[in-house]
Amino acid sequence: MGRDWYEALARKFGGYRKMWDSEFEGEDGEAAFTAFLRETLRQKGAEDAGLMPRRPGPTVLDVGCGDGLYTLHVSALAAQVTGLDFSPEMITLARRNQQSAAIPNVDFVGATTSGTALPFPDQSFDLIFSRRGPSSHLADARRVLKPGGLVAGIHTGARDEIIGRVEAAGFQVVRNQEYRGTEIFPTREDYALFLSRIPGNPDYTLPEHAAELDRLTAPPPPYRAERWWFIWAGTPSPR
C-alpha cells in the first residue's frame, strides 16, 4: 500500500483509533495476538530476572507501528520498545501520542523495510513483531534479533506468502493459527468509518463516495463484516 494512503489516514483520522461502534461475534484474532505478545514478554521478563547479573527486561521492535498507540501499550511489559514506520505523518503522530502518555521507554524511528537493512545494530531485540504491517523486514530480522529471540505477526491475508518469507529469512515457524469472527455495525456511519480504515479503500465518509457506500449498505442495518486473521511466530532455524 502506498505511503500517501497512510499519510492521509494520519492527517484526517489521527491514525488507527477506533471511531465507530460495533459488536463482535466469534474469535477475535486481535485479542488473541495481544494475549500472545503479553505472555511472550512475561516469560522473557521472568527469564531476564532470573539471570545473574539480572537483565533489565525484553527489548521489542514493532514494525509498521502507525500511530504508535499499540507500541505504547506493549511498553508496559518491556524494558525498551521501538516503533518503526515508513510514514513521516504516522511517526509524528506516534511521538505526539508518546508525549501525551508520558511513556519514557519507547522511541519511534521513520524508515522503510523494503529492500534495505533495518536501521539497528546486530542483536538489538528479543521480540520483533508486525501487527498487520509489512513483512519485508523479515529479510534482515535475523541479524537484529538477539539469541533466543522471536519474530511474530498478525495479518489478514497473503498467508502462504508471509509464511514463505518467514522460512526464507531463516526462521522455523512455531505458530501458524487462524481466527474467524464477525464484526457487527449498528449504523451506516459506523460501517463507513470501518471501511475507510481498510488499506486501499477510499474515505467513505466523503460525499464523492456516497454512491458506492449506498451500494455497500443496500441491506438495512445492522451491517456485518466477516473478519479473518492468522497469527504466526518463528524462531531462528539452526544454521
The pTM (predicted TM-score) of the whole model is 0.89
Q: Tell me if residue 107 falls in helix, strand or coil.
A: strand
Q: What is the pLDDT averaged over residues 66-70? A: 94
Please give the pLDDT value at position 52: 44
> Per-residue pLDDT tens for 87-111?
999 999 999 999 999 999 999 999 9
Q: Which domains does the chain have, with CATH numbers?
A: 3-236 (3.40.50.150)
Q: How many CB atoms lie within 10 A of CB 14?
A: 14
Please give the pLDDT value at position 17: 76
Measured in degrees and rounded to the nearest 5, phi and psi for residue 207 equal -60, -35
Stronger pLDDT, 156 or 4, i.e. the higher one: 156
Please give the pLDDT value at position 19: 86
How far is 37 from 81, CA to CA, in rounded Å? 13
In degrees, rounded to 5, the angle at the alpha carbon of residue 30 between the alpha carbons of residues 29 and 35 is 95
Beta strand extents in 51-98 (DSSP E only): 59-63, 80-85
Please give the pLDDT value at position 45: 79
Q: What is the pLDDT averaged over residues 115-135? A: 95
> Per-residue pLDDT tens for 179-225?
999 999 999 999 999 999 888 899 999 999 999 999 999 988 999 99
